[in-house]
């Protein structure tokens, strides 16, 4: 029995979702689907979508569901060959989660594992501040970091309860060094 290959990677900003998702892409060949990365590409390209999204992202707010759902729907259609995917940063609201089920059903697929990276709040704040210095992300200023964490607890964490009715989440401690977390993640997906 191999690894589960249709994944939702879940966790607060700074929990290491992006890093772990990139490892799953590079080492397991999963398609890495990150709305945050896609939106930042739109911003860099100066597209209308990028400009619209900036207004939300710069404040630490979520981009409206219909915009995100359209973007992910198109992206998933390109993934129809079934190599597997890791969703990193989607779904972030209950309406997004309910759309995901329908999108995958149309493709004859379903998510087969939900993994949560658990990291204490103080560690998250520290990591996000460090990333701010390193990557100059517009949304890593102290006030915006606070807002993104608030949005996570208010709007995103409840998604776990919703998804959990069908697929109980697997929890992984996201505090240790990257390779240690990755080893635990693989174990959780076996």
Enumerate binding residues for ligand AMP (CB under 6 A).
13, 35-36, 39, 56-57, 60-63, 68, 89-90, 92, 96, 139, 148
For the bound state, the minimum distance from the C-beta of residue 9 to ligand AMP, rounded and expressed in Å, comes to 10
Closer to ligand AMP by CB, 48 or 81: give it: 48
Structure tokens belonging to residue 188: 């959780």
Closer to ligand AMP by CB, 9 or 81: give it: 9
For the bound state, the minimum distance from the C-beta of residue 130 to ligand AMP, rounded and expressed in Å, comes to 15
Closer to ligand AMP by CB, 20 or 96: give it: 96
**Of 130, 146, 150, 166, which residue is the catalytic one?**
130
Closer to ligand AMP by CB, 142 or 183: give it: 142
For the bound state, the minimum distance from the C-beta of residue 100 to ligand AMP, rounded and expressed in Å, comes to 10
* 75 is a catalytic site residue: no
Is residue 165 classed exposed, middle or buried when 0-12, 13-18 and 19+ CB atoms within 10 A define those classes? exposed
Which residue pairs, CB below 8 angstroms and at least 24 apart, start in 94-101? 94/158, 94/159, 94/162, 95/65, 95/69, 96/65, 96/68, 96/69, 96/72, 96/159, 97/159, 97/162, 97/163, 98/162, 99/65, 99/69, 99/73, 100/72
Structure tokens belonging to residue 140: 């890593």
* 17 is a catalytic site residue: yes
* 92 is a catalytic site residue: yes
Which letter does DSSP use for residue 156 in this model? I
For the bound state, the minimum distance from the C-beta of residue 2 to ligand AMP, rounded and expressed in Å, comes to 27
Torsion from C-alpha of 149, 42, 55, 159, nearest 10 degrees: -40
**Of 25, 59, 73, 137, which residue is the catalytic one?**
137
* 146 is a catalytic site residue: no
* 51 is a catalytic site residue: no
């Amino acid at each position: 029995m191999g690894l589960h290959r249709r994944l939702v990677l879940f966790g607060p900003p700074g929990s290491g979702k992006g890093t772990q998702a990139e490892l799953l892409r590079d080492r397991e060949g999963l398609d890495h689907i990150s709305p945050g990365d896609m939106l930042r590409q739109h911003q860099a390209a100066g597209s209308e979508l990028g400009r619209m999204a900036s207004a939300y992202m710069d404040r630490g707010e979520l981009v409206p569901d219909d915009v995100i759902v359209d973007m992910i729907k198109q992206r998933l259609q390109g993934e129809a060959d079934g190599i597997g995917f890791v969703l990193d940063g989607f779904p972030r609201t209950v309406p997004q989660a309910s759309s995901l089920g329908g999108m995958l059903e149309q493709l004859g697929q379903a998510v087969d594992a939900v993994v949560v990276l658990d990291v204490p709040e103080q560690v998250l704040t520290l990591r996000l501040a460090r990333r701010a210095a390193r990557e100059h992300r517009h949304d890593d200023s102290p006030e915006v970091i606070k807002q993104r964490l608030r949005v996570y607890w208010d709007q995103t964490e409840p998604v776990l309860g919703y998804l959990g009715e069908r697929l109980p989440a697997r929890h992984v401690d996201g505090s240790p060094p990257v390779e240690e977390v990755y080893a635990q993640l693989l174990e959780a997906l076996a």
